[in-house]
């Protein structure tokens, strides 16, 4: 008879996300994971599979949560441009927190198809939301009508990654705010 799990799977997965965000896949040991997740090694394997499967689950959960956080920020303010600004402000404000999505790209590029699927799905969802807000901002007169909304969305997603890489490289908050400001300026 299978034993009842004595831990919360979501909390354990969130703890794994925290470790992977800081140390990446290669820099994370199984011992680091079980200590952070507060579960035994066998529970990790029984519940999440091996470290690679856990990493994929962590990236999937993280990507979904980040996409929703971006979507929430995009919906702020009375005008579409306010939402775009709120999204970039959020990225600058949280830039010091390591990003699992950017970390995965830096560590693996596009060499792992299972990660590419997760990352591409998150990027498509975010780009769709951003391009819709850019179109709304154009209709409101806040963003230049000469800008292609899809290209603008790709540009802003690239700037999100750039802000996070800059933060990881030691940029301070004023520098991150400046990067967000310049990204917004490019839309005008």
- Confirm whether 170 is domain-assigned: yes
Residues in the chain: 188
CA distances from 120 to 6, 72, 172, 188 (A): 34, 20, 29, 28
Q: Is residue 1 over pLDDT 90?
A: no
pTM (two decimals)? 0.91
Report how far residue 126's alpha carbon sits from residue 129's, in angstroms, rounded to the nearest whole number: 5
Is the Cβ–Cβ distance between 87 and 70 less than 8 Å?
A: yes
State the residue range of the domain holding 144.
Answer: 60-185
Q: Is the pLDDT reported for residue 124 higher than 90?
A: yes
Q: How far is CA 166 from the centre of its chain?
A: 15
The CATH number assigned to the domain holding 137 equals: 1.10.357.10
Residue 5, pLDDT > 70, answer no
Tell me how many domains the chain contains. Answer: 1
**Dihedral (C-alpha) 17, 21, 26, 27: value to the nearest 10 degrees?**
-110
Residue 88 domain flag? yes
CA–CA distance, 95 with 36 (Å, rounded to integer): 22
Establish if 17 belongs to a structural domain. Answer: no
Mean pLDDT for the stretch of residues 26-43: 95
pLDDT for position 18: 97
In a domain, 83, yes or no: yes
pLDDT tens, residue by residue, 73-113: 999 999 999 999 999 999 999 999 999 999 999 999 999 99
- Round the average pLDDT of the chain to a whole number and report it: 95
3-state secondary structure (DSSP) of residue 95: coil
């Amino acid at each position: 008879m299978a034993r009842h799990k004595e831990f919360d799977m979501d909390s354990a997965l969130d703890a794994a996300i925290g470790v992977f965000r800081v140390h990446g896949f290669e820099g994370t040991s199984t011992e680091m994971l079980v200590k952070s997740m507060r579960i035994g090694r066998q529970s990790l394997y029984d519940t999440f599979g091996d470290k690679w499967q856990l990493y994929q689950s962590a990236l999937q959960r993280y990507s979904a949560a980040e996409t929703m956080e971006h979507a929430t920020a995009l919906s702020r303010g009375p005008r579409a441009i306010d939402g775009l600004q709120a999204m970039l402000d959020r990225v600058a404000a949280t830039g010091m927190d390591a990003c699992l999505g950017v970390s995965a790209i830096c560590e693996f590029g596009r060499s792992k198809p299972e990660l590419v699927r997760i990352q591409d799905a998150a990027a498509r969802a975010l780009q769709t939301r951003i391009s819709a807000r850019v179109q709304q901002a154009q209709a409101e007169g806040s963003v230049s009508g000469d800008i292609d909304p899809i290209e603008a969305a790709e540009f802003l997603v690239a700037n999100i990654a750039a802000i996070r890489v800059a933060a990881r490289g030691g940029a301070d908050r004023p520098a991150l705010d400046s990067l967000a400001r310049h990204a917004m300026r490019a839309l005008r």
